[in-house]
Amino acid sequence: MLTAHLPSGYVLARLAPEGHRFLLPAALIGAVLPDFDMLWFYLIDQGSIHHHRYWVHVPVFWAAVAALLLPVLALWSRALLAPGLVFFAALFLHMVLDSVGGGILWGAPFSGHLFALVEVPASQPHWVLSFLLHWTFLLELGIWGWALYLWRKGRCI
């Protein structure tokens, strides 16, 4: 997914059943956090490893962090439990959306296969153009449209 992670976090926060002042920031941060690995991907690894193989894109890593952190929040900071849940939900939404055309290590640590719903062929000179011109980009446009609709609808969080 190229462009719709941030609006997907917005949609998630807006659909959350409970209002909390940290819900929106938690959802937005969780929705984009894994892609900060692009800095490492370009600056350190020189693009040699698919960035979806970094630990920030591995579901079992975030499941383990959530399994440790959410009970702590539930016991000692119950007010932050809802933002915490939304944060991890946004992280998993990120990985689900990346699974549409990009591939995610859903089987890690038992499998090194990048699971993808569809494969986006390298039909254009640059991979970004291949993704922009593939039918799966309509999903991104749909998420943007949904987020814009909710934003215009103006429900307060």
* Chain contacts with Zn ion (rule: CB under 5 A): 34-35, 98
Of 83 and 102, which has the nearer Cβ to Zn ion? 102
Q: Check: CB of residue 127 under 8 Å from CB of residue 103.
A: no
104 forms beta bridges with 115
Of 73 and 139, which has the nearer Cβ to Zn ion? 139
CB of 130 to Zn ion, least distance (A): 16
Chain centroid, CA 35 distance in Å: 8
CB of 15 to Zn ion, least distance (A): 21
CB of 59 to Zn ion, least distance (A): 12
Spatial distance between the Cα atoms of 102 and 43, rounded to a whole number of angstroms: 21
Q: Check: CB of residue 57 under 8 Å from CB of residue 37.
A: yes
Of 37 and 86, which has the nearer Cβ to Zn ion? 37
Under DSSP, the state recorded for 50 is -
Of 98 and 140, which has the nearer Cβ to Zn ion? 98
CB of 76 to Zn ion, least distance (A): 31
